[in-house]
Chains A and B, each alone.
Chain A
Amino acid sequence: MSWLSYTKALNRALADALADDPSVCLLGEDIGAGLAGPTLGLQKRFGASRVVDTPLSEQGFTGVAVGAALAGLRPVIEFQIPALLFLVFEQLVNQAHKFSLMTGGQASVPLTCLVPGSGSRDGWAGQHSDHPYGLFAHMGVKTVVPATPTDAYGLLRSAIADPDPVVVFAPAAALGVRDDVTGPLPVIPLGRARVHRPGTDVTVVAVGHLVHEALALATELAEDGVSVEVFDPRTLYPFDWEALGASLEKTGRLVVIDDSNRSCGIGAEILATAAEQYRLTAPPRRITRPDGAVLPFARELDRALQPGRDQLRHAVHAVLKH
């Protein structure tokens, strides 16, 4: 038995990708020292020309990664905080994502962005605590939010091997999760959901670290005879609608828990699709941060805006009344 942490799983995925494919390279701030964790030791092992410490020039080095990808490399960028994605929306969404279509399929941009520590870390306040996966899913950039170390490994490997740009959000609140791992870890395809726990009464779609909250609640409710299916999309774009449909066919009830802002969020998309396409026996519910939320500094205020187990319990009970 060996316990693998989420951060170590990311580190192993990067190391294996670098070892397997000479066109893979890493760019980012403080990655030589491995400050965020996932790149620890990689510069020593693979050299400073493949694991490149960049100056604080997010737009510059993200554009560089796009050009390098067009020229045959498979760059991976590590962003130290999620808010940096706002700086490079131009390079990722307006350039990298659009190249394939705009060139009539001549070009592809196999670029991976890894965001270890997305969402709230206590005390990081307004500009370090967003969880902006919905923006990328909305634009159609492949968007991944793994909940477990095994999924983090397998999905990051797929992201790096994918011919299109992919953004991988590693939630801060999931970095402490550990998996019991024996043997090599599997590569997990993008676009496939995972049912962590089957159930028959209600489907709880949980994104990222909230999978663990949903699992804890499911265990608790099982004692009361309530059967909760915990559904982890793992990839928000493309979303595994087929698997969601199969789950809702069984349960007919839906609750989504999503640690991002409510308006135009991924939770809204899941509810809308379920309402359009699937048979629901109860009005669906979603638990999110408030509209346009900015996380305040004080821990009590920060936590007050984040979705949690209590709200999830309340929502599950609400849909069970129908």
Chain B
Amino acid sequence: MRLRTPADGVCLESPADRYRMVRLIRGFEELALELVRSGDIVGGTHPYIGQEAVAVGVCSALRPEDQLTSTHRGHGHVLAKGADPARLLAELLGRTTGLNKGRGGSMHAADLSLGILGANGIVGAGAPIAVGAAWAAQLAGEQRVVVSFFGDGALNQGVLLESFNLAAMWQLPVVFVCENNGYATTLPAAVAVAGTALGRAEAFGIPAVAVDGMDTEAVREAALQAAARARSGGGPVFLECRTYRFEGHHTMERRLKVDYRPAEEIAAWRERDPLLRAAALIGDPTALDQEVSEQLAQAREFALNSPAPDPAGACDHLYASGLRPRAGAVA
């Protein structure tokens, strides 16, 4: 089972394609929430609901050979770059059929064949990796673009600023995408980020643009320009996508009943739901909704019926050289 994907060069080209992908990510995340509640997904997830326009807008501007690094809230990026939702769901369930054979889980989902260099559990850690992949592209004379997704919390990580400097000094084809959802876990950006997000990039001479992160088309337009600039040797671009997550930082929040966001604030952002905005650009979405619904039902069945890994293989893939570590607790 496989979507038509950006890797095929077709999936996100029309507003209907993009609506479909927004719908798929929304439905996938809702399904994941259900499977967290049922206990099938262990460890929980970081829901992307509300931020879909960023992943879909940015990835619609990419070519199959382009690459990205993602965050711990990465399902949207991974799906929008073309990963198979059934295999991503199987990964969340820790099954052998998962993208990472059940070794990565939600926070480390990767599909190298699609240029997805991995979601990352450390805030900001993907940025230098994206810069490195872009440097490799530059050395190889390839016109690849690498997108580095990160949140507003990463703006305070030193390694992100080091990455800005290296990308700007070496004029590398990187698009830095800050998904500013207003909160670093529970800490509001207003009390965490001195100056502005754009100012951070501008200090390194990187062109910086703010865009409505609830609007797939606006994100796409900005990303197309950024990718074109990077692809033609113009160096990095910084996009600040102003967005919001409708759910908590992590599924654990519901259980803990933590409360740090005003209900009115959540309601106001829900009024600007990217799903509704993407739907408004197309005719009747019923058929697409039905298609996505069936796809997710199949993904659910595939993932839940996939086998769990054999504990004897817990150290498989630790070394690409095939080195087997000495047995420890599993002796």
Bound together: yes
Contact call A103/B112, Cβ cutoff below 8 A: yes
B104 CB to closest chain A CB (Å) equals 5
Contact call B317/A66, Cβ cutoff below 8 A: no
Q: Does A37 contact B (CB under 8 A)?
A: no
**Given A64-B166, A90-B125, A163-B321: A59 touches B132 (CB 8 Å cut-off):** no
Can you give 19 contacting A-B residue pairs, CB < 8 Å? A57-B166, A59-B128, A60-B162, A63-B128, A63-B131, A63-B159, A67-B133, A67-B134, A67-B146, A68-B135, A73-B136, A90-B125, A95-B122, A100-B319, A103-B112, A104-B317, A108-B320, A140-B325, A163-B320
| Number of chain B residues whose Cβ lies closer than 8 Å to a Cβ of chain A | 50
Partner of A62, one of B104, B108, B128: B128
Q: Which of B53-61, B70-78, B95-103, B278-286 contacts A (4 or more CB under 8 A)?
A: B95-103
Contact call A61/B103, Cβ cutoff below 8 A: no
User: Which residues of chain A have C-beta atoms less than 8 A from B132's C-beta?
Assistant: 63-71, 75
B59 CB to closest chain A CB (Å) equals 19
User: Closest residue of chain B to A57, judged by CB?
Assistant: B162
Interface string of B293-329 (1 = CB under 8 A from A): 0000000000000000000000111111101011000
User: Which residues of chain A have C-beta atoms less than 8 A from B323's C-beta?
Assistant: 142, 164, 191, 238
Contacts from A to B (Cβ < 8 Å): 25, 49-50, 54-55, 57, 59-73, 75, 90-91, 94-95, 99-110, 140, 142, 162-164, 191, 238, 241
User: Which residues of chain B have C-beta atoms less than 8 A from A142's C-beta?
Assistant: 319, 323
Contact call B125/A95, Cβ cutoff below 8 A: yes
Contact call B317/A101, Cβ cutoff below 8 A: yes
Contact call A63/B127, Cβ cutoff below 8 A: yes
**Given A55-B165, A91-B128, A95-B125: A104 touches B133 (CB 8 Å cut-off):** no
CA–CA, A140 to B130, complex, Å? 25
User: Which residues of chain B have C-beta atoms less than 8 A from A108's C-beta?
Assistant: 320
Q: Does B330 contact A (CB under 8 A)?
A: no
Interfacial residues of chain B within 82-99, with CB under 8 A of chain A in the complex: 98-99
Partner of A101, one of B103, B128, B140: B103
Partner of B125, one of A63, A68, A69: A63
Contact call A25/B118, Cβ cutoff below 8 A: no
Partner of B110, one of A49, A68, A106, A241: A106
CA–CA, A142 to B315, complex, Å? 15
CA–CA, A63 to B111, complex, Å? 19
Contact call B136/A67, Cβ cutoff below 8 A: yes
Partner of A107, one of B112, B158, B162, B166: B112
Contact call B128/A67, Cβ cutoff below 8 A: yes
Contact call B101/A104, Cβ cutoff below 8 A: yes
Contact call A70/B128, Cβ cutoff below 8 A: no
B105 CB to closest chain A CB (Å) equals 8
Most buried by B among A63, A67, A103, A238: A67
Contacts from B to A (Cβ < 8 Å): 67, 69, 98-104, 108, 110-113, 117-118, 120, 122, 125, 127-137, 139-140, 146, 158-159, 162-163, 165-166, 169, 315-321, 323, 325-326
User: Which residues of chain A have C-beta atoms less than 8 A from B318's C-beta?
Assistant: 100-101, 140
A244 CB to closest chain B CB (Å) equals 13
New A-B contacts (12) at CB < 8 Å, excluding given A104-B98, A140-B325: A50-B139, A55-B166, A59-B158, A60-B128, A65-B132, A67-B130, A68-B135, A71-B137, A75-B132, A100-B320, A105-B317, A164-B320
User: Closest residue of chain A to B157, judged by CB?
Assistant: A59
Contact call A64/B158, Cβ cutoff below 8 A: no
Most buried by B among A62, A105, A109: A105
User: Closest residue of chain B to A97, judged by CB?
Assistant: B318
CA–CA, A140 to B67, complex, Å? 29
B308 CB to closest chain A CB (Å) equals 14
User: Which residues of chain B have C-beta atoms less than 8 A from A64's C-beta?
Assistant: 128-129, 131-132, 135, 163, 166
Contact call A68/B136, Cβ cutoff below 8 A: yes
Contact call A71/B159, Cβ cutoff below 8 A: no
Most buried by A among B133, B165, B319: B319
User: Closest residue of chain B to A108, judged by CB?
Assistant: B320
User: Which residues of chain A have C-beta atoms less than 8 A from B317's C-beta?
Assistant: 100-101, 103-105
User: Closest residue of chain B to A109, judged by CB?
Assistant: B320
Partner of A104, one of B69, B99, B131, B139: B99
User: Which residues of chain A have C-beta atoms less than 8 A from B111's C-beta?
Assistant: 106
User: Which residues of chain B have C-beta atoms less than 8 A from A57's C-beta?
Assistant: 162, 165-166
Would you list the 3 A-B pairs with minimal beta carbon distance, nearest first?
A67-B132, A63-B128, A60-B162
CA–CA, A95 to B98, complex, Å? 20
User: Which residues of chain A have C-beta atoms less than 8 A from B128's C-beta?
Assistant: 59-64, 66-67, 91
**Given A63-B163, A90-B125: A103 touches B118 (CB 8 Å cut-off):** yes
**Given A64-B166, A100-B319: A70 touches B125 (CB 8 Å cut-off):** no
